[in-house]
């Protein structure tokens, strides 16, 4: 049961997210880089390896966002933008930790508006509809793998995207929501031979607008004709339904490309459960030996 009127909060958060994209010059059709957005808004982002931590926002002595690096990649992206919401709306110091597997204070108005802001910044209606259109996907016929691929493109969680497309964007029906959520993401990951502890990032010819961010041990799935440049940071693993797959083995920068159509993307690899300034997570480790 709602203890406050959510409609004006939804309008305020959604409008602010749209205006921030415009202010920062972000194409409304494209996904975003959460760390870059936070930085452009004047927030330093740090990672902290602590199992109970979701996120922290502190405005003083300078604006800082701290994200728990032990959370799944999609959750970290959402948390970063959630904390940015606290910054943008002037909420002051906030601590979002995990209690009994759930985020505490989730029903407070300030937490709700930060959630709606984060969701619409990461998955704006324009960008979601454009992603569906370019891939010739009919919203009424989306299956779990379609959603899994789209969640990879937007850098968010599988269920997060389903809920947002249903509750906020009205693209999916409640029946679709319930049916799609019956599929467990770890079972989708397993189809590519990935462990539960690692992430699967699936690219396609329409992946544009941001780099592919990975961690050591994560699996990259490319589309037909694409390949990763010859580099010891990634090892080719196998083909899954004709799609080449690669495992990230060490931190740093790599590129993937398709010579036939000129498609190319940057790949950035960070260590697992990295702790420190977010902007440094991809820098080469001088102690790594590729000999």
Buried b (16+ CB within 10 A) or exposed e, 7-43: eebbeebbebbbebbeeeebeebbbbbbbbbbeeeeb
Q: Is the pLDDT of residue 228 over 90?
A: yes
Report the distance separating Cα 156 and Cα 201, nearest Å.
Answer: 11
Q: What is the mean predicted confidence (pLDDT) over 162-179?
A: 97
Please name the CATH architecture into which domain 190-280 falls. Sandwich (2.60)
Q: What is the mean predicted confidence (pLDDT) over 91-103?
A: 68
Question: Is the CB of residue 198 less than 8 Å from the CB of residue 219?
Answer: yes
Q: Enumerate the domain spans of the chain.
A: 7-122, 126-183, 190-280
Report the distance separating Cα 267 and Cα 248, nearest Å.
Answer: 10
Report the distance separating Cα 155 and Cα 248, nearest Å.
Answer: 17
Contacts of 277 (CB under 8 A, 6+ apart): 44, 45, 46
Reported as a pLDDT band with limits 50, 70 and 90, residue 103 is very low
Q: Is the pLDDT of residue 200 over 80?
A: yes
Nearest to 226 by CA among 212, 209, 208, 205: 205
3-state helix, strand, coil in the chain (%, to 5): 35, 25, 40
Whole-number average pLDDT of the chain: 91
The number of beta carbons lying within 10 Å of the beta carbon of residue 276 is: 14
Same fold across 7-122 and 190-280? no
Question: Is the CB of residue 284 less than 8 Å from the CB of residue 55?
Answer: no
Report the distance separating Cα 138 and Cα 173, nearest Å.
Answer: 13
Q: Is the pLDDT of residue 5 over 70?
A: yes
In the numeric block, the tokens 């602010």 are attached to 16
- Here the tokens at position 231 are 């580099």
CATH class entry, domain 7-122? mainly alpha
pLDDT digits (tens, 9 = 90+) for 231-288: 999 999 988 888 999 999 999 999 999 988 899 999 999 999 999 999 999 997 644 4
pTM of the model as a whole: 0.92
């Amino acid at each position: 049961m709602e203890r406050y009127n959510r409609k004006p909060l939804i309008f305020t958060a959604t409008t602010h997210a749209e205006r921030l994209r415009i202010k920062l010059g972000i194409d409304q059709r494209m996904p975003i880089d959460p760390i870059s957005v936070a930085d452009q808004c004047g927030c330093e982002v740090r990672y902290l390896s602590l199992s109970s931590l979701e996120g922290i926002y502190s405005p003083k002595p300078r604006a800082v966002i701290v994200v728990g690096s032990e959370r799944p990649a999609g959750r970290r992206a959402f948390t970063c933008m959630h904390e940015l919401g606290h910054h943008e709306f002037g909420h002051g110091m906030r601590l979002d930790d995990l209690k009994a597997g759930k985020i505490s204070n989730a029903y407070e108005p300030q937490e709700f508006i930060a959630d709606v802001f984060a969701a619409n910044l990461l998955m704006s209606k324009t960008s979601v509809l454009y992603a569906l259109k370019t891939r010739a996907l009919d919203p009424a016929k989306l299956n779990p793998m379609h959603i899994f691929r789209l969640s990879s493109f937007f850098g968010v969680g599988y269920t997060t995207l389903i809920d947002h497309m249903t509750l906020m964007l009205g693209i999916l029906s409640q029946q679709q929501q319930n049916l799609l959520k019956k599929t467990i993401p770890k079972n989708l990951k397993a189809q590519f031979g990935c462990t539960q502890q690692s992430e699967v990032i699936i690219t396609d010819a329409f992946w544009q607008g941001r780099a592919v961010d990975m961690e050591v041990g994560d699996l990259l799935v490319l589309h037909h004709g694409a390949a990763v440049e010859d580099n010891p940071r990634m090892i080719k693993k196998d083909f899954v339904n004709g799609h080449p797959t690669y495992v990230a083995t060490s931190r740093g920068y790599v590129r993937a490309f398709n010579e036939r159509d000129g498609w190319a993307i940057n790949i950035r690899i960070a260590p697992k459960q990295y702790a420190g300034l977010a902007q440094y997570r991809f820098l080469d480790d001088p102690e790594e030996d590729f000999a």
